Structure 1
Amino acid sequence: MYVIFGASGNVGRAAATALRHAGHDVRAVVRDPAQRETFTRIGCETVHGDLDDESSLHRALDGAHAVQMLCPLPHRDPDPASAMHRMIGTAARALRAHPHLHVVALSDYGAERDEGTGITMLFHELEAVFKESVPRLTLLRSAEHMHNWARVLPVALATGRLPSLHHPVDRRFPTVAAQDVGVLAAQLLSEARDDDGVRIVSIEGPSRYDANDVARAFSEATGRDIAALALPRSEWTATLLRSGLGTNHAKLITDLYDAQNAGRIDVDPRTERRFGTTSLNDALAASTRTVDA
């Protein structure tokens, strides 16, 4: 039995689908009962699980031999870092009680760094805690997800300008489609792990892109003229707060992009490297259809 935490997210859904297509038994862990139909339709068992409820994690892990673990940043929490610290601890305690499991834990580019990377620092903590708690661990570090740009598409459509925290707008950065991350996660889960130890795999897309490429992809998908705009650093925090984020969450993001723009977040060359097949244009065209819907 393969257990997928965070099944309702883009990566989790792709992983569950890929495993089912390969004929494997899959248990999708969801928080919202309304999400169950998506997974029962493709033949998954579905269970309720909450990373703040350790007993629910043990129930989800019962009978499993491999698990994909995601500890997401809780966007609605006023102190998302503290909330994620708690979830990491809860997940680690549950996994420690199931030492036979092969765990594929989702992480980020830059997680090897121990300071000054904002949100990515939380994945550094996740990796450190899981390394001590999980005997048979695969860390899957992904580049920034392409679909994240859909968050600013409404602004781009309204103004013709795509605000970017990537500076300058012609600096290329690694990015990847969530679908490709999920497919690789499924592959890593299904590869037999009889040995204890830590394996680290990094994934990004087939090419690197810049913010200008993102604007052009949205222009092509929407038929509208859109140009990239480097949002001034002095406006980042106020813009993020206006978008509905809390102060602590905004600080995690500004620290992240300061590190990105300084070249401190990139692939760790010591890891195994994999490359997705989905282009930026294809990923953003799909995101555009979702926004339209």
Structure 2
Amino acid sequence: MYVVLGANGRAGGETAHALIGMGKPVRIVLRRPEQAEKWVKLGADVAISSIEDVPSLAAALKGASGAFLLSPPPVSGDPYSRAEEVGSALVEAVRQAGLPKVVALSSVGAQHETGTGIIATLNRLEKHLEGAAPSTSFLRAGYFIETWGEVAPAVIADGVLPSFLEPSKKIPMVSTIDVGSTAAHLLVDDFSGKRVVELRGPQDWSANDVAAAFGRVLDRKVETAFVPPETRAAVLAQEGVPPEVADALLGMYDGIASGRVEREEGAEQRRGSVALAEAVGRIVRRMGEDGGGLAS
């Protein structure tokens, strides 16, 4: 049995689907019972818990061969304090359960304690989890291609891709399909000790590459609209992002621009197989399925 946290999110969901596709028994940890039906239909066991509830989380982990763990994206408050709380709770649950193997979602650049904005929260998570289980893998993924789905409505409506990334700068990006597949294989891999696996797509891509991929999928011209640093805080405020969370997010983009969000010497390097246009096509299809509108 393999336990997956965050299965209703991007990376956790893909990890759960990958394990189920491999024929492995899976237990999904969810916050609310009403979220369980779709996973039960896929043959997964479901446990209701939260990261904050250490005894119930430990019970969900008990007897498992391994677990995919992550720190949920912060929505309010101080992200760095929250990372400490989550890390402490996860490591205690792992130890109470006697869990033999952990695969924890992290990010390229997580080797740095500072200078990477919100990615630094994953540095704290790694420090908490290191040594918590006999086998611990930190899966440091690149920038999720699926994150561009947040601006897909603007792309579809106006043919413009807003970007906090310098348009021509190529960075590590990867589809969450590859993240889930890699996490699943790390979970079933026979490995002891600590490993750091950095995962990026088949090649590095820029915002301009993403715009071109949207253009191919939509069969129309899509241009990149660079959002300069001095206006980004206002953009996030308009979207309702709390100031502390916004500061951490903006720090990540500063870290990317400065080259701080890059590979760590000695880390295991892997590349996924999902092409940029394939991942972007899935974003667009899902928007159509969700009623996002593709007619414009």
**Same-fold call, TM cutoff 0.5:** yes
Q: CA deviation at 1:23?
A: 2.1
Cα distance in 1 for residues equivalent to 2:103 and 2:283: 26
Contact 1:69-1:106 at 8 Å conserved across structures:
yes
SS in 1 for 2:270: strand
What is the aligned partner in structure 1 of residue 74 from structure 2? 74
Contact 2:61-2:99 at 8 Å conserved across structures:
no
Q: Which runs of 5+ in 2 are unaligned?
A: 291-296
Q: How many residues of Structure 1 are paired with residues of Structure 2 in the alignment?
A: 289
RMSD: 1.5
For the pair 1:121 / 2:120, whether they are aligned, the reply is: yes
Q: How does 1:218-229 map to 2 (within 5 A)?
A: 218-229=214-225
What CA deviation, in whole Å up to 9, does each residue of 1:38-91 have, x standing for no partner? 21122110111201111221121121121111112222x233332332112111
Cα distance change, pair 40–284 in 1 and its aligned pair in 2 (3 A): same
Contact 2:140-2:198 at 8 Å conserved across structures:
yes
Q: How does the TM-score come out when normalised to structure 1?
A: 0.94
Cα distance in 2 for residues equivalent to 1:22 and 1:152: 33
What is the aligned partner in structure 1 of residue 24 from structure 2? 24
Cα distance in 2 for residues equivalent to 1:38 and 1:246: 32
What is the aligned partner in structure 2 of residue 14 from structure 1? 14
Q: CA deviation at 1:129?
A: 1.0
Q: How does 1:210-225 map to 2 (within 5 A)?
A: 210-225=206-221
Q: Which of residues 260, 273, 276 in structure 1 aligns to 2:256? A: 260
Q: How does the TM-score come out when normalised to structure 2?
A: 0.93
What is the aligned partner in structure 2 of residue 281 from structure 1? 277
What is the aligned partner in structure 2 of residue 131 from structure 1? 130
SS in 2 for 1:72: coil
SS in 1 for 2:161: strand
Q: CA deviation at 1:236?
A: 0.7
What is the aligned partner in structure 2 of residue 86 from structure 1? 85
What is the aligned partner in structure 1 of residue 188 from structure 2? 190
Q: CA deviation at 1:132?
A: 4.4
What amino acid is aligned across from residue 71 of structure 2 in structure 1? Answer: C
Q: CA deviation at 1:160?
A: 2.9
Contact 1:100-1:136 at 8 Å conserved across structures:
no
Cα distance in 2 for residues equivalent to 1:143 and 1:172: 11
Contact 1:180-1:277 at 8 Å conserved across structures:
yes
Cα distance in 2 for residues equivalent to 1:211 and 1:176: 13
SS in 1 for 2:36: helix
What is the aligned partner in structure 1 of residue 200 from structure 2? 204
SS in 1 for 2:67: strand
What CA deviation, in whole Å up to 9, does each residue of 1:148-191 have, x standing for no partner? 00101122333332111112x11111100001110111101001
Q: CA deviation at 1:100?
A: 4.4
Q: Which of residues 270, 273, 279 in structure 1 aligns to 2:266? A: 270
What is the aligned partner in structure 2 of residue 52 from structure 1? 52
Q: CA deviation at 1:22?
A: 2.1
Q: CA deviation at 1:213?
A: 1.0
Cα distance in 1 for residues equivalent to 2:130 and 2:82: 20
Cα distance in 2 for residues equivalent to 1:212 and 1:179: 22
Cα distance in 2 for residues equivalent to 1:187 and 1:180: 11
What is the aligned partner in structure 1 of residue 170 from structure 2? 172
Cα distance in 2 for residues equivalent to 1:177 and 1:270: 23
Cα distance in 2 for residues equivalent to 1:61 and 1:100: 7
Cα distance in 1 for residues equivalent to 2:216 and 2:78: 38
Q: What is the identity percentage for the equivalent residue pairs of Structure 1 and Structure 2?
A: 33
Cα distance in 2 for residues equivalent to 1:287 and 1:38: 21
Cα distance in 2 for residues equivalent to 1:254 and 1:74: 14
What is the aligned partner in structure 2 of residue 236 from structure 1? 232
Q: CA deviation at 1:267?
A: 1.9
Cα distance in 2 for residues equivalent to 1:74 and 1:92: 19
For the pair 1:247 / 2:243, whether they are aligned, the reply is: yes
What amino acid is aligned across from residue 18 of structure 1 in structure 2? Answer: A
SS in 2 for 1:229: strand
Cα distance in 2 for residues equivalent to 1:21 and 1:284: 23
Cα distance in 2 for residues equivalent to 1:288 and 1:150: 8
What amino acid is aligned across from residue 275 of structure 1 in structure 2? Answer: R
Contact 1:73-1:81 at 8 Å conserved across structures:
no
What amino acid is aligned across from residue 102 of structure 1 in structure 2? Answer: K
Cα distance in 2 for residues equivalent to 1:182 and 1:283: 14
SS in 1 for 2:195: strand
What amino acid is aligned across from residue 170 of structure 1 in structure 2? Answer: S
What amino acid is aligned across from residue 17 of structure 2 in structure 1? Answer: T
What is the aligned partner in structure 2 of residue 108 from structure 1? 107
